Amino acid sequence: MEAMILLDSLQAALVETCHLKPGARILLGLSGGPDSLCLLHALARMGWDVAAAHFDHSLRPESAEEAQMVAGIAANLGVACVIECGDVPAYARGKGLSIEEAARTLRYGFLFAQARRCGAQAVAVAHTADDQVETVLMHLLRGAGLAGLKGMSMRAVLPERDTDMPLVRPLLSTWRCEVEAYCQEAQLHPLQDPSNQNVAFFRNRLRHELIPYLESYNPNIRQGIWRSAQALAGDHDTLQALVETTWAQCLESTGQGFVILDLEFLRAQGEGMQRSLLRRAITVLRPALRDVGFDALRRAQGFVQHPSRSAQLDLLDGLTLSMEQDDLILCEEKAALPFPWPCLEPGYVAQLDVPGRVALPDGWELCAGWGVAGKIEGDPWQTSLSLEALRLPLEVRIAQPGERWQPLGMAVGSIKLSDFWINEGLPRRARAGWPLVCSGDQVAWLPGFRPAQFCRLVGKKQRVVLIRLVPPAGFENLAV
Amino acid sequence: MEAMILLDSLQAALVETCHLKPGARILLGLSGGPDSLCLLHALARMGWDVAAAHFDHSLRPESAEEAQMVAGIAANLGVACVIECGDVPAYARGKGLSIEEAARTLRYGFLFAQARRCGAQAVAVAHTADDQVETVLMHLLRGAGLAGLKGMSMRAVLPERDTDMPLVRPLLSTWRCEVEAYCQEAQLHPLQDPSNQNVAFFRNRLRHELIPYLESYNPNIRQGIWRSAQALAGDHDTLQALVETTWAQCLESTGQGFVILDLEFLRAQGEGMQRSLLRRAITVLRPALRDVGFDALRRAQGFVQHPSRSAQLDLLDGLTLSMEQDDLILCEEKAALPFPWPCLEPGYVAQLDVPGRVALPDGWELCAGWGVAGKIEGDPWQTSLSLEALRLPLEVRIAQPGERWQPLGMAVGSIKLSDFWINEGLPRRARAGWPLVCSGDQVAWLPGFRPAQFCRLVGKKQRVVLIRLVPPAGFENLAV
């Protein structure tokens, strides 16, 4: 009777929530404990095409013998079981992982490889509703957000394991006591892993001590937490869909080691969405990072809201945040960021004849010619300078340390080029190679910005030198 | 030193998160305990315009004397304190509330009334970060969703208290130990409420037993849960904004005791959003319901997904769900739902002459006239019937129990009107008063649907009776 209820709810979970196709194979991770044995038996009984795989962690001396027993139990049910043995402690040492993490990585690696090998539609594991409750509590105890508190999913594609093959957990709404009753009714004899009783393991202490203690507060605490997880999972899905849509609007560009976001758009979002988008950006560069801490997100958020444009923030794991104009840049130290500006090498000097042209690196070009004073406004990439104020030929070079100039509109005195660029918001990395057009040792034109005060136009029919900085072919978005 | 840190973080909270204006008054709920006394002192010290209000719950014999002491402490700080005394046990009995609920309702009612009276910009209460952690745990223990697990807000407008005046909790990121250190440094002498030590109260047991126990799992559990709440609050805000946008698209109409949603739109949403929209609909009709249970939402969701259109679901608290065509209707039993159809009283009979007209109730009208056979298609509200098949004058009446007819296109036999209407999806409540146009005792035309088979048109130049059902003036959306 109990068994029939379990089978009904399992069948519904397999088809409706796990979206499994009845004809196609399922690869089941079989530890030999009550949960996976119950799932194996139930799947076989309902006529699903199931293959089993057992991973021998070699953490206890009897594990090899147990692996043979597990394969025997599967064979008795008419199911083939592949065994693989891994050296978990060695892997843990080599990768700097805990034993649990190393065991999980190796086990899932094996299960997914085996599933691909035998043409399965999914990897199934036998987590129960009790496992779900324990997982949620573990996340709560370390202060997780929605992604943790929602617990495990009945069906999930985990890109780090396989980009297509889903992991399914069809027993996730079945309680452990129902599984045990099923095993008894079906006269199954699961292996008992003695380490499940060892309260030195965090999860076991949760199971055997914390949850019973919480039940003294609310006898239905397990059902309550399970329901919370269900509700949060729905909210998490809704939110993730929204984050993806918003992400597409917020992302400017991405490449090897960098992500560039639209700063103004990001600032216009609510706090929660800001954090979600920042987390999303970090995930692009650090996909393996299981959990981006709330504090890191808050620091990033503080940086985004802060008006200072010159600073940069060491965020986490070698990633830094910086701002350029309307962009927020998250990048690794050596990322090859897009460089949408001209760039001269240190020591570069060239002569610019009038008329004439100078080819700059990367396909940029400066062109000079004669003309008569007229209005060229709105394009900072060309200018007209008073001929009589200039010493020809002009010279093209980069700025010297501490060099000053007197930009158009500054009636007296001068300003350091570096301060001028800070005021104008030119990113630091663009400054060193910026081309200056000079007359003698004075800056006559700063392409992208302004001419100098000394060569401004005064009369209407004055003879002028026209100069233009031409970007490389196909170049777009030239902006300071 | 400690005090300065508290003041800095409090000032930031008041301005940046609680959005309080420095010049305007704040009404502080003053119990006289360490938290509210610290907040009073700090607000006064920083020059905020603060008034205090103390609610005497009369639950302990010494409460009246304590109220005077509280007012005295406030007066020493130069702050006026209004006292009100309420009979909590009587209110609890009268309203069927727990003592805690009754105390909260009366206390907040008093605070908001007092805040309005003294022209305050907000009611402030002194919940601390520890209170936040306790609140989140209480919600977890009963299996709450995002709305509960996000905890309290630093600033909230609670429509059930006041539609404009916010409730602010500026100490919500300050820990109780910081408050106590402040009190000591400032030589404040808070009252100690002995009931705070009584572990018979759920919250006290949480504070004195559960949280210390959880700290044996993670010594930073309180900080962790506080962070979780912060993260969830951001996600909750993001989600709520999305729910409101989606709600506006999903809502068909609402009125006294009913909400009508677009069923197809609702079905196209993800599970989480479906639940959010259903919860939102329930909130329209039951705004005082503090918490819509997950199970009720799941039952509603099951109903929405289920294809049966005839059933209705008793959802909760006197609300039922039903479906009509593409509408999902949530309503109270006696709600006056929109009735966009004609409706005749029981026993109604009228003669329809040709040519002639019959005025039906509520401004509907049937008009009949002569004509020659031609095509009138696409409008089920008018028809042309073969003259020679009819017995004139025609009769207008409602259906008799079990009455059958032979609709156009049914070559042999007949069908019960009730079955025909079920097939066509006519809502149950529209059927009883539906007008039939009859020839003798046979249904000749069912307005909104079809003519009968026996009076179909056969020749091209045949003489016909034209009939039209005209809706009331200004009537829109006539649809079956």
DSSP B384-443: EEEGGG--SSEEEEPPPTT-EE-BTT--SS-EEHHHHHHHHT--HHHHTT--EEEETTEE
**Residue B139 is encoded by which pair of tokens?**
């919600």
Give pLDDT, residue A301. Answer: 92
pLDDT of residue B374: 66
Answer whether A183's CB lies under 8 Å from A34's CB. Answer: yes
Q: Determine if the peptide bond prior to B393 is cis (ω within 30°).
A: yes
B216 touches chain A (CB under 8 A): no
pLDDT digits (tens, 9 = 90+) for A401-439: 999 999 998 989 999 999 998 888 788 888 889 999 999
Contact with chain B for residue A144, Cβ under 8 A: yes
Question: Hey, what are A73's tokens?
Answer: 């139990």
Residue type, A246: T
> What kind and span of H or E run contains A9?
helix A2-12
DSSP string, A193-248: -GGGG-TTSHHHHIIIIIHHHHHTT-TTHHHHHHHHHHHHHHHHHHHHHHHHHHHH
Amino acid identity of residue B284, one-letter, is: V
List CB contacts (< 8 A) between B223 and chain A.
Answer: 143
- Give the nearest partner residue to A238 out of B145, B232, B272, using CB atoms: B272
pLDDT digits (tens, 9 = 90+) for A145-166: 899 999 999 999 988 889 999 9
Of A145, A220, A270, the CB nearest to B232: A145
List of E strands, A295-431:
312-316, 319-324, 327-332, 349-352, 356-359, 365-372, 382-386, 394-397, 404-405, 415-416
pLDDT digits (tens, 9 = 90+) for A100-121: 889 999 999 999 999 999 999 9
Contacts of B206 in chain A (CB under 8 A): 217
B16 touches chain A (CB under 8 A): no
* Residues paired with residue B365 on neighbouring β-strands, in sequence order: B359, B470
pLDDT at A14 over 60: yes
**ipTM of the predicted structure?**
0.78
Task: Give the residue among B49, B26, B28 at the shortest CA–CA distance from B39.
Answer: B28
Q: In the prediction, which pLDDT does B422 show? A: 84
Residue B22 Cα distances to B15, B141, B404, B447, angstroms: 8, 39, 77, 68
Q: At what angle do helices B99-117 and B88-95 cross, to 10 degrees?
A: 110
Closest-approach residue (CA) in chain B for A148: B228
Please answer whether residues A113 and A84 qualify as being in contact, where contact means their C-beta atoms are separated by less than 8 angstroms: no
**Which residue do the tokens 């007012």 mark?**
B71
User: Residues in chain A, how many?
Assistant: 480
Provide the token pair at B218: 């993670």
Residue with tokens 């949408």: A340
Specify the amino acid at residue B62: E
**Interface contact B294-A218, CB threshold 8 A:** no
For residues A93 and B217, what is the distance between their CA atoms, to the nearest angstrom? Answer: 26
**Phi and psi at residue B335, in whole multiples of 5°?**
-65, 140
Residue B162: partners with Cβ closer than 8 Å, 6 or more residues away: B112, B115, B116
Nearest 5 degrees, angle CA B409-CA B323-CA B325?
A: 35
Give me the residue from A141, A145, A273 closest to B218, CB to CB. Answer: A141
Q: Hey, which residues does B8 pair with through a beta bridge?
A: none
DSSP state of A108: H
**pLDDT, mean over chain A:** 90
Task: Please name the residue of chain B whose CA is at the shortest distance from the CA of residue A233.
Answer: B272
Q: Is B235 on the interface with A (CB under 8 A)?
A: yes
- Residue A379 has a pLDDT of 80
Please work out, in degrees rounded to the nearest 5, the angle formed at the alpha carbon of residue A410 by the alpha carbons of A404 and A415.
20
Q: Tell me, yes or no, if B291 comes closer than 8 A to chain A by beta carbon.
A: no
What is the reported pLDDT for A381?
87
* DSSP codes of every residue in A253-278: EEETTEEEEEHHHHHTS-HHHHHHHH
- Closest-CA residue of B relative to A140 is B225
Q: How far apart are CA B87 and CA B64, in angstroms?
A: 12
Are the C-beta atoms of residues A2 and A10 closer than 8 Å to each other? Answer: no
Q: Say how far apart CA B373 and CA B466 lie, in whole Å.
A: 9
Backbone angles phi, psi at A442, to 5 degrees: -100, 140
> How many whole angstroms separate alpha carbon B256 and alpha carbon A264?
44
CA distances from A51 to A36, A78, A79, A159 (A): 12, 10, 6, 23
**C-alpha neighbours within 13 Å on the C-beta side of residue A392:** 14
User: Residue B239 and residue A238: Cβ atoms within 8 Å?
Assistant: yes
Angle at A336 between CA A331 and CA A340, to 5 degrees: 105
Q: Exposed e or buried b for every residue in B182-219, given b needs 16+ CB within 10 A?
A: bbeebebebbeeeeeeeeeeeeeebbeebbeebeebbe
For B287, phi and psi rounded to 5 degrees? -65, -25
A120 min Cα distance to partner chain B (Å): 28
pLDDT tens-digit map of A214-240 = 999 899 999 999 999 999 999 999 999
**For residue A480, what pLDDT band results from cuts at 50, 70 and 90?**
very low
User: Could you give the 3-state DSSP secondary structure of residue B460?
Assistant: coil
User: Which of A146, A223, A225 is closest, CB to CB, to B231?
Assistant: A146
Chain B residue numbers with beta carbons less than 8 Å from the beta carbon of A235 are 145-146, 235, 239, 272, 276
The amino acid occupying position B310 is S
Interhelix angle A221-250/A271-285, nearest 10 degrees: 80
Chain B residue with CA closest to A237: the answer is B272
Judged by CB atoms closer than 8 Å, whether chains meet at B234 and A270 is answered as: yes
Nearest to A227 among B141, B143, B146 (CB): B143
- Between B27 and A63, the higher pLDDT residue: B27
What is the full per-residue pLDDT of chain B (480 aa) written as tens digits?
Answer: 678 889 999 999 999 999 999 989 999 999 999 999 999 999 999 999 999 999 998 888 888 899 999 999 999 999 999 999 999 999 999 988 888 889 999 999 999 999 999 999 999 999 999 999 999 999 998 888 999 999 999 999 988 889 999 999 999 999 999 999 999 999 999 988 777 777 777 888 999 999 999 999 899 999 999 999 999 999 999 999 999 999 999 998 898 999 999 999 999 999 999 999 999 999 999 987 777 888 899 999 989 987 665 578 889 889 999 888 788 999 998 887 877 888 899 989 999 998 999 999 888 999 999 887 766 667 888 898 998 889 989 999 999 999 999 999 898 999 999 999 888 878 888 888 999 999 999 999 999 999 999 998 887 778 889 999 998 887 665 544
Place of tokens 């309680």: A175
Nearest-angstrom CA–CA distance, A114 and A53: 7
Is B127 near chain A, with CB under 8 Å?
no
Nearest CA to CA, how far is A296 from chain B (Å)? 12
A306 — contact with chain B (CB < 8 Å)? no
Strand bridging mode A122-124 / A167-168? parallel
Output phi, psi for A6, to 5 deg. Answer: -60, -45
Output the pLDDT for position B187.
93
Q: Which of B160, B181, B182, B162 is nearest to B41 (CA)?
A: B182
Look at chain B and count its residues: 480
Backbone φ, ψ for residue B168 (5° rounding):
-120, 150
| pLDDT tens figures, A128-150 | 999 999 999 999 988 888 999 99
pTM for the predicted model, two decimal places: 0.80
Cβ contact A270–B213 (<8 Å): no
Picking from B214, B217, B294, the nearest residue to A231 by CB comes out as: B294
Rounded Cα distance, B396 and B437, in Å: 5
- DSSP per residue, A118-174: TT-SEEE----HHHHHHHHHHHHHTT--HHHHT---SEE--TTT-SSSPEE-TTTTS
Task: With H, G, I as helix, E, B as strand and everything else as coil, classify residue A61.
Answer: coil
B144: contact with A, CB 8 A cutoff: yes
**If you search the block for the tokens 């600032």, which residue do you land on?**
A267
Contacts of A148 (CB under 8 A, 6+ apart): A136, A139, A140, A142, A291
Does the N-terminal peptide bond of residue A342 adopt cis geometry, omega within 30 degrees of 0?
A: no
